[in-house]
Structure 1
Amino acid sequence: MFNKVSLIALSLLAIVAIPSQSLAETVIERVARTGTLTVGARVDLVPYSYVNEKEELTGYSMDLIELIREQLEKDLGKKVKLNIVVDDEISDRIKSVINGEVDIVCDTIFTWQRDKFVDFSLAYSVSGIKLLVKKDSNLSSPESFKGKRIGIVKNSLRQEAIKVIESQVTIVNINSLEEGLKAVADGKIDGLAFDGTILEGMRQTLANPDAYKVVPNESYFRHGIACMIPENDSTFLNLVNYTIAKMMDGYLTGDSRYVEMINSYFGKDGIVTIQPDVIRNFFEMMIITREQIPPKEMSAE
């Protein structure tokens, strides 16, 4: 569907500081000068950004990045390439955006605290806190978690959010998502709290996915998934938001490219199944606050 970023290329990358440019230089000006869009990404967030069986970096967020790259090429009238910087820690990812080391980071949970330091795009997905537990457990309701050990990946969720589940749980700090999955498997924690969509995607990558479940059906604490860009760069933010809105509008109007893109991750045969009405309602809610993309612009691809 789209060109993927080879993992071989990722192995050649090192996270090094890019020489700082004038503070007046916007992302679009920098891309116009260098021909490169630098992207902070993770390689373990199924279905947003992950390495597939072909050793390619792919996912919903990476396909969105490809759309943004194409829009930059169209607006600038020149070729634009992607420079992928693997950045796992959320605190490091925010610093990278602030310092100008990367131009954009997607698959990020919006929080008001983070919004003080970077700007966020339109949300292109919505999820919330769920828990990965063993399938044979009886854990699902807030009451069932009372006194249980709940793992939280450090810096991934505000601890206040977990109180929505149950104020009397025992919080266990986990260093990484992978460590949390193993802790559930080993019985060191009773459940792992994280973004529900990602937990479901990660569950399906396990050697024995049917031994686990993601609960409950309704998320405990909802949040939007969006892209972070440097603060006060309205020109680039407008381009990113326009690209997201065009993707959503294309899906709603039945454009095959966007329908296939969304369905490959969230359709009935996708990685994480989401009912089409839920997707349509979310997309409609997001773009109704903006302007519908003019048909001539949708057909100009």
Structure 2
Amino acid sequence: MDDLLIGILMKTRSIAFVGSLFALAALTAQPVSAETSMESVVRSGKLNAVVIGDELPFASKSDAGFKGLAINVVAAVKNELQAFAGKPIRLNALQVNSVQDAKDALLSGKADIACGVAYSWERAMLVDYTIPFALGGVRVLAPTGNDGTPASLAGKTVGVIKDTVAAQTLATAAPQANYVSYDSPAAALAAMRSGSVDILGGDSLWLKANKARVAANADIVPIVPYGRSGVGCIIPENNSTMLNYSNIAIGKILQGYVNDVAPVQTMVNRWIGPGSAVNLNQDLIKAYYATVLSTAAQLSLR
């Protein structure tokens, strides 16, 4: 009888032990790897691209769809992915109001890429950046006579776009100014146009592209920006294939511009080059693009 009880007890303990092992395995089992953005694009034949705001030079909406430098860059990325996949890839634009919304769309899996985003060290902890295709600088659009220095901004009300590199940079560099944050680029420009604020802080390219329609007589100051940052595309982390092909697409644009490839120069100049609202010197753009390429490698265009 004692032997029988001992046997039953040992069997019960064995069952309990095995059950514990199964429970432990369930707790420690690794989840099945989620589909990467690249895999999703190839499978679905669709590239979900975030369009931030509705303001040039990076993106603007018209009856025919979206246009702007960032849109052209996304189209170039799509073409590279299409060649890789060996099948047509459709570009699907998802419009959001802010960089924060764009980041959220990427992190949630709703979007695969967003272009026209200024580099931020904090943001780079959550998403991956491509090489840049433009260089931004933090400045302000201010009435003539205000030189944009911290002393001239002290006590003044300055409009900024919420959660942007420009807003953070200005708050640190000119802390005595009074800042009003707007949820989107469109809202910030509307405030400037209506006179709700008479000083607007932001990226130099964005300010130049929109100056004529919101404050034609204002100046973009100071002469030396408060800070500079590259402007590129962001994609979800750990998508090396997507990142590589995105960099190749941007690299071809940069190399084409440096090599005087007419269609490429025409495309870039339309948004930021000679004759555009931004009106950057072509040699200046070439020099910057050559510098970016020198940090990686020049491309042989075919």
Report TM bin, short chain. 0.7 to 0.9
Q: Is the 8 A contact 1:41 1:84 kept in 2?
A: yes
Aligned position for 1:140: 148
Residues 269 and 85 of structure 1, relative CA distance in 2, 3 Å threshold? same
TM superposition shift of 1:60: 0.3
- Kept after mapping to 2: 8 A contact 1:164/1:221: no
Cα distance in 2 for partners of 1:139, 1:190 equals: 13
TM-score by length of 2: 0.83
SS in 2 for 1:45: coil
Distance 1:70 1:159, change over 3 A: closer
> Does the CA contact (< 8 Å) of 2:210 and 2:277 recur in 1?
no
Within 5 Å, give how 1:237-256 maps onto structure 2. 237-256=243-262
Question: Which residue of 36, 46, 65 corresponds with 2:56?
Answer: 46
- How many angstroms does 1:270 deviate by? 1.8
Deviation at 1:266, TM superposition (A): 2.0
Count of aligned positions: 271
2:71: which partner in 1? 62
CA distance in 1, matches of 2:75, 2:190: 33
Contact 2:98 2:185 (C-alpha < 8 Å) held by counterparts: no
Q: Closer, same or farther in 2 for the Cα pair 1:193/1:75, shift >3 Å? A: same
Match of 1:122 in 2: 131
Query: When the two structures are superposed, what TM-score results if normalisation uses the length of structure 1?
Result: 0.83
SS in 2 for 1:210: coil
- Within-5 A mapping of 1:144-163: 144-157=152-165, 160-163=168-171
CA positional deviation for 1:102: 0.4
Give 1:56 shift. 2.9
The offset of 1:256, in angstroms, is 1.6
- Tell me, what secondary structure is at the counterpart of 1:63? helix
- Residues in 1 aligned to 2:298 and 2:167: alpha-carbon distance in whole angstroms: 38
1:229 aligns with 2:243: no
More helix by share: 2
Counterparts of 1:202 and 1:190, CA distance in 2? 14
Where do 1:126-275 residues align within 5 Å?
Answer: 126-134=135-143, 136-157=144-165, 160-163=168-171, 165-206=173-214, 209-275=215-281
- Larger radius of gyration, structure 1 or 2? 2
2:113 to 95, 104, 126: 104
**2:50 and 2:102 in contact (8 A); partners too:** yes
Q: 1:110 Cα shift? A: 1.3
For the aligned residues, what is the CA RMSD?
2.0
Report the AA paired with residue 170 of structure 1: N
Structure 1 residues 83, 202: closer, same or farther in 2, change over 3 A?
A: same
In the TM superposition, what is the alpha-carbon distance from 1:167 to its structure 2 partner?
2.8
Shift of the 258–150 alpha-carbon distance from structure 1 to 2, 3 Å rule, reads same
CA drift at 1:247: 0.9
Give the fraction of aligned pairs with identical amino acids, expressed as a percent: 26
Runs of 4+ in 1 over 6 A off after TM superposition: none
Q: Is the 8 A contact 2:138 2:201 kept in 1?
A: yes
Instruction: Tell me the residue number matched to 1:15.
Output: none
8 Å Cα contact 1:126-1:223 kept in structure 2: yes
After superposition, the Cα gap between the structure-2 partners of 1:79 and 1:130, relative to the gap in structure 1 and judged at 3 Å, is same
**1:23/1:40 Cα in 2 relative to 1: closer, same or farther (>3 Å)?**
farther
Which structure 1 segments of 5+ residues have no match?
1-21
- Equivalent residue, structure 1, for 2:83: 74
Query: How far 1:246 moved relative to its partner?
Result: 1.1
Distance apart, 1:137 and its partner CA: 4.6
Query: Residues of 2 paired with 1:55 and 1:79: CA distance?
Result: 21
